[in-house]
Every structure is written in C-alpha cells, then in structure tokens.
Amino acid sequence: MISKYNIFKVVHSPHVSEKSNMLFKKHDIIILKVSINSTKQDIKLAVQQLFSISVRSVNTVFVKGKIKKKGKYNTRRKNWKKAYIRLQKGQNLNVINNII
C-alpha cells in the first residue's frame, strides 16, 4: 500500500494535448507525467488509489528533453517519463472533480 505522500511522488500531473484527448475519448487511455524512477506497478497502484478507478494496463515512455537556444547558448530541458494508462471498460474519470 502506497501512502498519500508517496502517491504524489509517483504521479506529477496530467499531460494535456490533442493526442491525449483523442486517446481518452476513443480508447479510455489517460496520459500522466510520472517520476522517472517509478515502475509500472507503482504507477498502477498510485492511480488506483488517487482516482478510485480500476486500471487495465500501464505503458511508459521515457521522453528526452529538447535542446533550446538562449542567445548564443544551447540549453537542454529535463528528461521526463510519460505513462499511458488504460482504464477498465465502464470506468469514468473526471480529473477536475477528483483533484478539487
């Protein structure tokens, strides 16, 4: 069992984009930004406890930070991890109501 403190160490924020909205509407998949060190089992337990929903599967992607130019210097953004979470059929997730 993960404590409330550790849940927020695993799950950082929802990833909002056109692709994430399309996946949620068609396939019941939500996309979250998660900790780099978290495993699929940690993510699954954290999401189930945080949103009170059942999760079918979790897929993760490691996203490399982009190189940006600031004046004459090149800087690099941080690397981060993205989790694709597939919900069980019939599960409904309203992120705004669960966070507030």
pLDDT digits (tens, 9 = 90+) for 21-55: 999 889 989 999 999 999 999 999 999 998 889 99
Question: What pLDDT score was predicted for residue 75?
Answer: 95
Model confidence at 56, in pLDDT bands (50, 70, 90)? very high
**CA-based end-to-end distance of the chain:** 23
Angle CA 80–81–86, to nearest 5: 155
Arithmetic mean of pLDDT over the chain:
88
Separation CA 85–CA 56 (nearest Å): 8
Please report the domains of the chain, with CATH numbers, ordered by start residue: 4-89 (3.30.70.330)
